[in-house]
Amino acid sequence: MAVEIRRIEPYLWEIPRNGKMRVPGRVYASEHLMQDIRGDESLVQVQNVAALPGIVGWSLAMPDIHWGYGFPIGGVAATEARSGAISPGGVGYDINCGVRLARSELTADRIRPRLAALMDALFAAIPSGVGAEGAIPRLSRSELLRVLVDGATWAIGRGFGSADDLAHTEERGCLAGADPDCVSERARDRGLAQVGTLGSGNHFLEIQRVALIYDDDLARAFGLFEDQVVVMIHSGSRGLGYQVCEDYIRRIKPRLAVYGYELPDIQLAAAPLDSDDGRAYLGGMRCAANYAWSNRQVMLHVVRETFQRVLGLGPADLGMRLVYDVCHNIAKLEDHEVEGAKVRVCVHRKGATRAFPPRHPDVPPAYRESGQPVLIPGSMGNYSYVCAGAPGAMAGTFGSTCHGAGRRMSRTRAKRESRGRDLIGEMERQGVLVRATGMRTVAEEMPHAYKDVADVVEVMEQAGVSHRVARLVPMGVVKG
């Protein structure tokens, strides 16, 4: 299906309103990236999302956009809180899939002699792969309820980190309004044994070094310096979050006629925010988000312990402190300016990162003057970026920016094009050690399957949405 789209600014394109669209669609991209974007049905999905009841402003897509379930991955949409809809497809199956970056006091040269041993130990300590069970014992049902309500606060209370970690986590690692009664028994069962697990797909744990500083002042504010060793963790809510999404898609789909919703794609299935279905989904989604923050918090604790044990360092010498933790797949009630008026909206971010600018009241105090840290992972074995939110995000994207490189080919095609190659050997020859449960995920996640994250980040900087702070390159990668 051809989509009419025109360039309105050097890095911004618009799909004019047509058909059932309530607002225009807007896509942030360069001419080069638009060639890849036109290669799948994601622009059709941008157009479809514009038909959501109560949507305001625009249906938005970041430059890492690619086809997803209902919403494109890399999609952002805000619906009015009082009369708008909530769509589980606008959050996605991996609720609060996110990225956590921790910095250390170590330089790359200091760990290189022990890097192989360190990667072996991390691979052994943090379970990865489909269905992997956690780095900590299976939870009791009562303890799981605390995880769902308290998020990362639960993990800190169990000794997995400190209060300083909460101060450097989006929402302090806990969304208010989580309701365990809105999480099915099947979802709870799936969550009992997966706290402290990486998972599979595009999830990873990387030891990285800071290769390049773009902004000295912001780098100092974030505690970063050149050649510094950092650790990036990319994971989410695992089977529990998947099940929450699945449960509510099945619940809401048959009720669209009840709400009088006529949508161009059944995968956009949505319910009014003020309906029983809408409130229940938000209660369950918040539980899954809190589970994800607990999951990443536990993994960070295990990473710290593993570094100390393998390198023979104490906590002070290691100095591993959290820079920030951001979520990519979430829906949040926020205040934004729409047509000159302050409006309470539900911002769906699916494969998009919050990017609030300096002095925004929701930016943690540690970063109030610098802007919220934004963590943008690249493809496996490629570079990643630390950025900061900029004023253009509030004006154009409901405080959102990109979340990664974005796929340019399907997993099936990536596996086909990787056939017969010694992928792990290729990575090692580039100086990157890989530890993986199986070769399937490695083949699916190789750099050739993704856009160049440098191009993606450049678009958002040129558009004034987020600002580059540092480039990180991997030394070692753990995959599921």
3-state DSSP of 45-86: HHHHHCCCCCEEEEEEEEEEEECCCCCCEEEEEEEECCCCEE
Q: What CA–CA distances, in Å, run from 94 to 282, 349, 392?
A: 14, 12, 28
The CATH number of 6-479 is 3.90.1860.10
Contacts of 83 (CB under 8 A, 6+ apart): 53, 54, 272, 274
Domain range list for the chain? 6-479
What does the pLDDT average to over 83-103?
97
The type of residue at 96 is N
DSSP state, residue 391: T
Residue 403 annotated among the catalytic residues of the structure: yes
Nearest to 92 by CA among 278, 275, 331, 450: 331
SS3 379: coil
- Segment among 29-33, 407-411, 424-428, 466-470 with least mean pLDDT: 407-411
Query: What is the predicted pLDDT for the residue at 217?
Result: 97
Q: pTM of the predicted model, to two decimals?
A: 0.95
Report the 10 Å Cβ neighbour count for 248.
26
Express each pLDDT in 14-51 by its tens digit.
999 999 999 999 999 999 999 989 988 999 999 999 99
Please check the confidence at residue 319 and state whether its pLDDT lies above 90: yes
CA separation, residue 220 to residues 110, 384, 434 (Å): 21, 18, 30
Catalytic residue among 168, 203, 301, 403: 403
CA angle 142, 148, 153 (to 5 degrees): 100
pLDDT for 457 beyond 70: yes
Q: Which pLDDT score, from 0 to 100, does residue 129 have? A: 66
Neighbouring C-beta atoms of residue 74, cutoff 10 Å:
33
pLDDT single digits (tens) 257-309: 999 999 999 999 999 999 999 999 999 999 999 999 999 999 999 999 999 99
> Residue 409 pLDDT more than 70?
no
Sign of CA dihedral 212, 433, 301, 349: positive
CA dihedral of residues 268, 178, 158, 242 (deg, nearest 10): -20
Number of CB atoms found within 10 A of residue 259's CB: 16
CA dist 328 and 252 (Å) reads: 23
Q: How many helices (H) and strands (E) does the chain have?
A: 18, 19
Q: Considering only CA atoms, which of 130, 303, 319, 113 is closest in space to residue 206?
A: 303
Mean pLDDT to the nearest integer, 217-240: 97
pLDDT for 119 beyond 70: yes
Mean pLDDT of the chain: 94
* DSSP state for residue 460 in the 8-state scheme: H
> Which tokens sit at 39?
């290669």
